[in-house]
């Protein structure tokens, strides 16, 4: 179900909001909302609400927000799902962010690997132009993430981190290990390094699942070993080599399906 993502909490006792800029454009020109319309919306807290359009001015939309009561959440008990995504070409990266947002991924952490296109050299880390390019990409990805949630109705506020280099990513993983109990990290690799599949690793539900997806050329041997030394479990996606955008969506879908349906897969239901 489509929904509108409210980027800030309503002000005042009557829950009134004044929407301008991109939010006004989306509702007035994309959704073609009119005074008196009521839309589903999602608050910054994740709560679901109704947004009733009171009036539309030249460059602003005034609405009243009412939180829904008695809503049940399918995400109860579902682990946080983070995608460590190697940088891909512009349109492909946009697609990955959009699909991850639609699929309810908690966070996307883009990073530069040895075979990433575009690449970032070590000297570029301090280069102002390189930082500005990454910052502009981040703005676009965050906008795409919001658009994806509005289209899909996802209750998960998918966040996108600023692109990191490989060492920064591994340091971030160490921080995550201290924040979650028994986190599960899976390395998606095109060579058969894996000794077990998704079912084996997801026989219990962890608090966090991290998926590391490589670039078009795959991870280098050194990167794969670094991931495994850090605790990542290698898994493959069958006997075909997928494009990076396909591998990301495939991996997310497998994890979410196994966790959502694990209670149904019992001998009693066969």
Ordered mean pLDDT values, 10 residues apiece, the chain (270 residues): 82 81 89 92 83 92 85 65 93 96 95 87 60 90 92 88 96 96 90 73 91 92 95 86 92 92 62
* Residue 212 phi, psi (nearest 5): -105, 115
Q: Is residue 88 domain-shared with residue 174, that is, in the same domain?
A: yes
- Which residue in this structure is represented by tokens 């947004």? 51
Q: Is residue 119 domain-shared with residue 17, that is, in the same domain?
A: no
The number of folded domains in the chain is 2
Q: Which of 41, 67, 93 is the last residue of a domain?
A: 67
* Residue 183 phi, psi (nearest 5): -65, 150
User: What are 205's two structure tokens?
Assistant: 């539900």
Residue 19 CB partners (closer than 8 Å, separation 6+): 27, 60, 61, 62, 63
Give the span between the Cα atoms of 258 and 39, in whole angstroms: 32
SS3 (DSSP) at 260: helix
* Residue 45 phi, psi (nearest 5): -75, -15
User: What are 223's two structure tokens?
Assistant: 């990167």
User: What are 196's two structure tokens?
Assistant: 């077990």
Rounded (5°) CA angle 191-108-124: 85
pLDDT at 71: 56
Q: Is residue 98 domain-shared with residue 11, that is, in the same domain?
A: no
Q: Is residue 127 domain-shared with residue 201, that is, in the same domain?
A: yes
Q: Is residue 53 domain-shared with residue 89, that is, in the same domain?
A: no
Residue 253 sits in a domain whose CATH number is 3.40.1280.10
- Which residue in this structure is represented by tokens 């060492």? 167
Q: Is residue 84 domain-shared with residue 17, that is, in the same domain?
A: no
pLDDT at 128: 65
Domain of 136, in residue numbers: 80-261
Beta-carbon neighbour count of residue 201 at 10 Å?
Answer: 18
Give 139's DSSP letter: H
Q: Is residue 127 domain-shared with residue 159, that is, in the same domain?
A: yes
Hey, CA dihedral for 38, 40, 41, 46, is it positive or negative? positive
Q: Identify which of 98, 48, 99 has the alpha carbon closest to the alpha carbon of residue 74.
A: 48
C-alpha dihedral, 103 to 194 to 88 to 107, nearest 10°: 40
Q: Is residue 62 part of a domain?
A: yes
pLDDT at 7: 83
pLDDT at 124: 52
Are 208 and 184 spatial neighbours (Cβ–Cβ below 8 Å)?
A: yes
Q: Is residue 24 part of a domain?
A: yes
Q: Is residue 72 part of a domain?
A: no
Give 104's DSSP letter: T
Residue 22 sits in a domain whose CATH number is 2.40.240.20
Give the span between the Cα atoms of 101 and 85, in whole angstroms: 13
C-alpha dihedral, 97 to 101 to 107 to 111, nearest 10°: -10
């Amino acid at each position: 179900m489509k929904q509108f993502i409210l980027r800030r909490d309503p002000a005042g006792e009557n829950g009134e909001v004044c929407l301008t800029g991109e939010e006004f454009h989306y509702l007035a020109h994309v959704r073609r909302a009119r005074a008196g319309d009521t839309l589903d919306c999602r608050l910054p807290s994740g709560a679901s609400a109704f947004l009733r359009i009171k009036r539309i001015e030249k460059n602003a939309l005034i609405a009243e927000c009412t939180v829904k009561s008695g809503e049940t959440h399918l995400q109860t008990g579902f682990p946080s799902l983070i995608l460590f995504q190697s940088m891909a070409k512009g349109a492909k990266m946009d697609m990955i962010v959009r699909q991850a947002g639609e699929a309810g991924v908690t966070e996307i952490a883009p990073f530069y690997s040895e075979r990433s296109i575009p690449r970032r050299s070590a000297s570029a880390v301090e280069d102002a132009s390189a930082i500005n390019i990454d910052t502009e990409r981040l703005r676009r990805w965050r906008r795409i993430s919001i658009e994806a949630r509005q289209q899909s109705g996802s209750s998960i506020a998918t966040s996108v981190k600023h692109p990191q280099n490989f060492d920064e990513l591994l340091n971030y993983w160490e921080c995550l290990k201290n924040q979650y109990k028994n986190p599960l990290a899976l390395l998606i690799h095109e060579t058969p390094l894996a000794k077990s599949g998704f079912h084996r690793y997801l026989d219990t539900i962890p608090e966090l699942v991290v998926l590391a997806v490589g670039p078009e050329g795959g991870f280098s041997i050194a990167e794969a070993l670094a991931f495994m030394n850090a605790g990542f479990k290698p898994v493959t996606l069958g006997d075909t080599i997928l494009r990076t955008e396909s591998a990301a969506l495939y991996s997310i879908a497998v994890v979410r399906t196994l966790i959502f349906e694990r209670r149904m897969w019992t001998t009693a239901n066969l």
